[in-house]
Amino acid sequence: MQQSYENINENNILLKLNKAGIYPSPYNYIKSKKINFDEYVIHDSTLREGEQTPNIILSIDNKIQIAKKLDEIGIKRIEAGFPAASNKQYTTIKELVKLDLNSEIIAFARSKKEDIDIAVQSGAQGIIVSYSISSFIVKTSLKVYHKKNI
C-alpha cells in the first residue's frame, strides 16, 4: 500500500517518511504549506553560467535568441551576464534590455563598487551581488584585507 505524502498539514508526513526509511530534517516541515507555483520565480542563469561550459561560446545574437525563448516560455528572471567582466557581456545586457521582454534582465556583480556601477550602467533591471567567503579570493580578487589577514 503506497502512502501519500501530499498533504503536509493534515498528515504526519515526517512519520510516514521515517517509516519508509527516509529521514529528512524535521526543520523542513516547520510552517510548511502546499506549494503554489504562482508564488515562485524561476531565475535562469543560462546566459552567464552556460557560457562557462567548456567549448561553449555564445555570440550576442545567440544570447538574444536564447533570451527570447526563455521569455516566450515564461521565465521571469534572466541572469544575462557579468558586465564588468567584458565589453561583450556589458553590450549583451544593454541589447537585452532594449528588447523590452516580459522577463527581468539581471546582471551579476562581485561586491565591488566598480562592478555594481557597471551593472547599473548596463541598464539591468536587477543585480545579483556575490561576496566570496574565501579569504584567498577576498585578498587576491577583491583586494580586501581584514586586520587578521595583514
Residue listed under C-alpha cell 516547520:
30
Top-confidence residue, 137 or 78: 78
CATH code of 71's domain? 3.20.20.70
Cβ contact 109:76 at 8 Å:
no
Partners of residue 78 on adjacent β-strands = 44, 105
Same domain, residue pair 78 and 105: yes
Domain shared by 127 and 63, yes or no? yes
Answer positive or negative: Cα dihedral of 29, 34, 36, 37: positive
Query: By residue range, what is the domain housing residue 108?
Result: 41-149
Q: How many domains does the chain have?
A: 2
Predicted confidence at residue 3, as pLDDT, reads 46
For residue 80, count other CB atoms closer than 10 A to its CB.
31
Q: Are 75 and 136 in the same domain?
A: yes
Q: DSSP code of 2?
A: P
pLDDT, tens digit, for every residue of 81-120? Answer: 999 999 999 999 999 999 999 999 999 999 889 999 999 9
**In whole angstroms, what is the distance from residue 43 CA to residue 76 CA?**
7
For residues 80 and 134, state if they share a domain. yes
Give the separation between CA 83 and CA 123, rounded to whole angstroms.
Answer: 10
**What is the band of 1 on the pLDDT scale with cuts at 50, 70, 90?**
very low
Residues 21 and 67 in one domain: no
Same domain, 110 and 47: yes
> pLDDT for 18-73, tens place per residue?
787 777 766 665 555 565 666 777 889 999 988 888 898 899 999 999 999 999 99
Same domain, 3 and 65: no
Please state, in angstroms and rounded to a whole number, the distance separating the CA atoms of residues 118 and 113: 9
Contact call for residues 78 and 44 (beta carbons, < 8 A): yes
- For helices 60-72 and 87-98, the axis angle rounded to 10 degrees is 40
Question: What SS3 class is residue 130?
Answer: strand
Q: Are residues 52 and 73 in the same domain?
A: yes
Residues in the chain: 150
